[in-house]
Amino acid sequence: MGKVLIIGAGGVGTVVVHKVAQNMDVFTEIMLASRTKSKCDAIAEAIGGNKIQTAQVDADNVEDLKRLFNSFKPELVINVALPYQDLTIMDACLACGVNYLDTANYEPKEEAKYEYSWQWAYQEKFKEAGLTAILGCGFDPGVTSVFTAYAAKHHFDEIHYLDIVDCNAGDHGKAFATNFNPEINIREVTQKGKYWEDGKWVETEPHAIHKPLNYPNIGPKESYVIYHEELESLVKNFPTLKRARFWMTFGQEYLTHLRVIQNIGMARIDPIIYNGVEIVPIQFLKAVLPDPGELGENYTGETSIGCRIKGIKDGKERTYYVYNNCSHEAAYKETGAQGVSYTTGVPATIGAIMFMKGLWRKPGVYNVEEFNPDPFMEQLNKQGLPWHELFDVDLEM
């Protein structure tokens, strides 16, 4: 059938629509919907050729979603809206017999908390309905999880140590800006750090563990251990892991801004009363910060994201580093979006291709590492995110 509905018209949604439109042999009909239809119309116009239908939808409202689903009748929904909206979209999918794919796990509005429990609880419902739900199909989570599955399948008998490393060495020229939705981004990077070691979670203060790591084509960048959602599913699906961590680079200026934002209360996610009106400080902050979708034009440099893995193969210790570097300029030239949006949107499109081709299709709720990684890895090279491998090198672990 090949009918796909994309929900969300931010930077990632922009990339998904561009990439889906490049694969019309797989996707026969495409619709883009968001709360603001004019954003969808602008993206559709940029692509041209009347390829993209558009619609307005409130993704917080199950009934509104159901009306759209029953009208358009998609085979698959690609959810690149807000993580708060995952469950309403999944509920609408169940009600209307539609398959589901997202890039970030659900988190409640009132608490910055990464946890798959809410979505994993839908497993039996999706199974009984004969529907597939693919969770976390961006880059991290997403490609990093597929990288891990590929390594386990081809290069290791047992994986013991995993460091996911995420470097953005780009420069957007702004004093302070976030690379995706500021509300989600700031919630993510200000929470406590957490990593897996010896069968349990170890919690740290935010940014307490850090050191310079060397990134291909970039060099050394100060990197910080933070908690990231794919760790939860990876330690579950690869039980031989003795330790799993997630590292992300931050510049000192970024961290200084972040500390000030927290200290003055602008990172608060609870409502306050201002001039008799209830506002949430972080949502107000989002309104005055640069729009991540508009950073691309002057963005220079590149990202480097990958997995550093140590384990055993044929009784011998082996190390393996698999990664992608993505140019902000090249991403903008192709899609009008910067590299962080590109590295999330392309994998979401590939996941949708995997589903439409019947390669990643089984009733239930699954994280991406639970599917065959090989065809996905092949598509990364074809769709603009080529990957590279290094064997038996120093992983700086």
pLDDT at 121: 98
In whole angstroms, how far apart are CA 211 and each of 2, 171, 247, 250, 319?
Answer: 46, 21, 10, 11, 20
Averaged confidence pLDDT in the chain: 94
pLDDT at 360: 98
The secondary structure of residue 24, as a DSSP letter, is T
Taking 80 as the threshold, does the pLDDT of residue 111 lie above it?
Answer: no
Structure tokens at 318: 């082996």
In whole angstroms, how far apart are CA 238 and each of 37, 133, 315?
Answer: 42, 20, 18
28 three-state secondary structure: coil
- How much is the average pLDDT of 311-339? 97
Helix (H) or strand (E) holding 146: helix 143-154
pLDDT at 256: 86
Structure tokens at 320: 């393996």
Counting Cβ atoms within 10 Å, is residue 328 exposed (0-12), middle (13-18) or buried (19+)? buried
In whole angstroms, how far apart are CA 323 and each of 160, 164, 212, 275, 395?
Answer: 19, 10, 17, 50, 12
Structure tokens at 385: 């995110």
What does the pLDDT look like over 113-131, one tens digit per residue? 779 999 999 999 999 999 9
Report whether the peptide linkage leading into residue 141 is cis, meaning its omega lies within 30 degrees of zero: yes
Any idea which residue has 């972080």 for tokens?
Answer: 282
Other beta carbons within 10 Å of 315: 6
Taking 80 as the threshold, does the pLDDT of residue 184 lie above it?
Answer: no
Rg (CA), the chain: 20
What does the pLDDT look like over 205-240, one tens digit per residue? 999 999 999 999 999 999 999 999 999 999 999 999
Taking 90 as the threshold, does the pLDDT of residue 174 lie above it?
Answer: no
Any idea which residue has 């092949």 for tokens?
Answer: 378
Of 185 and 10, which is predicted with more confidence?
10
The secondary structure of residue 171, as a DSSP letter, is B
pLDDT band with cut points at 50, 70 and 90 for residue 363 = very high
Report d(CA 326, CA 301) in Å as an integer.
Answer: 9
What does the pLDDT look like over 46-68, one tens digit per residue? 999 899 999 999 999 999 999 99
Report d(CA 332, CA 327) in Å as an integer.
Answer: 9
pLDDT at 109: 78
Separation of CA 127 from chain center: 24
Q: What torsion do the CA atoms of 331, 336, 338, 342 make, to the nearest 10 degrees?
A: -60
pLDDT at 191: 85
Q: What percent of the chain has pLDDT over 70?
A: 99
What does the pLDDT look like over 130-153, one tens digit per residue? 999 999 999 999 999 999 999 999
Instruction: Output the pTM of the full model.
Output: 0.94
pLDDT at 252: 85
